[in-house]
Amino acid sequence: MVRAIALSIALLIGVGTLIPLATEYAEAGAKKTRKYKKKREWKGVKKYSKRWWQLYRAQERRKKTVAARRRALRLRQMRIAEARRAREEGSKAVAAAPNATRKRSVVMPSGEAAPKNWQPEATNDSEVRFTVDNGRGGETGSAAITVVGPSVGETVVGGRQQAVGGVATTSLRRDVINRMIRENGWVVNDFQKEIGGKQVYVVVAQSQASGGRIQSRMFYFTESNGRIYSVATNSSADAAERVAEETEKVIRSLQAPGRTQQATRD
């Protein structure tokens, strides 16, 4: 009887020991490995010693790097979601009123209509935006006419102090550079060009579109009727020359004397 009781107690003790060990190795093996590695790195390091501070700073740098990557990922996800939502809203608006979209046209300050393949997107007191199609139902690029600000002086072509309507071309170029930095692009060149009998400051830039394609970006600055206008275009490289020709027609319209920029719809 005593022997049976002792045997039962021994079996209970053995089972009680084996179950926790099996659970630890089967379910918590990975966690135990990480803890072991961490202890091994800090093993034998005296707290607040030089080596301890090196390990601590490295650990904090890793934490900051991981946190920055997480923030960047969240920001990218938010931007993608916002762009997707904007595209969906735009598609719904076009589907709801397709006839009105096709009939819209914008009259330039000279009274001339915008190029046929320039379809208006949005208009406010200081900006008119367009989408540029290729005439076959596809989109070639975009364009925007913006009022930069009032003219504060004369347009200076030569010398070191070149200006458009009193605003230094270096300031206008800096604005384009800042915009390209935000839009993952770069400035290629800048020069003065005569369009419609007036000097126009032109900044040539490029940016990378989806799929790695290079987009041609052109920024024209001209002064007319006491205002400085900017005409910015974004197109594929093969359509850049055609879009530039159409843009120069728009600039001549902006330079028409005695008129102001107004956007009207049929």
pLDDT digits (tens, 9 = 90+) for 7-66: 778 777 776 676 666 665 555 544 554 554 555 678 888 989 999 999 999 999 999 999
Higher-confidence residue of 108 and 215: namely: 215
Residue 263 has pLDDT above 50, yes or no: no
Biggest CA–CA distance in the chain, Å, is 120
What pLDDT was estimated at residue 103?
46
Tokens standing for residue 220: 């024209």
- For residue 147, CA distances in Å to 69, 224, 262 come to 38, 10, 11
How many residues does the structure list for the chain?
266
Report percent pLDDT > 70 for the chain.
74
Distance separating alpha carbons of residues 79 and 226, to the nearest angstrom: 38
Q: Which residue has the tokens 């208006």?
A: 120
pLDDT band with cut points at 50, 70 and 90 for residue 226: confident
What pLDDT was estimated at residue 126?
67
Higher-confidence residue of 188 and 146: namely: 188
On whether the CB atoms of residues 214 and 206 are closer than 8 A, the answer is yes
Residue 171 has pLDDT above 60, yes or no: yes
Q: Which residue has the tokens 């005593």?
A: 2
What pLDDT was estimated at residue 101?
43
pLDDT band with cut points at 50, 70 and 90 for residue 140: confident
Distance separating alpha carbons of residues 254 and 232, to the nearest angstrom: 13
What pLDDT was estimated at residue 172?
92
Say whether 82 sits in a helix, a strand or coil. helix
How confident is the prediction for the chain on average, in pLDDT?
79
What pLDDT was estimated at residue 173?
92
Distance separating alpha carbons of residues 201 and 229, to the nearest angstrom: 11
Residue 264 has pLDDT above 50, yes or no: no
Tokens standing for residue 257: 């004397």
Residue 261 has pLDDT above 70, yes or no: no
Distance separating alpha carbons of residues 241 and 73, to the nearest angstrom: 38
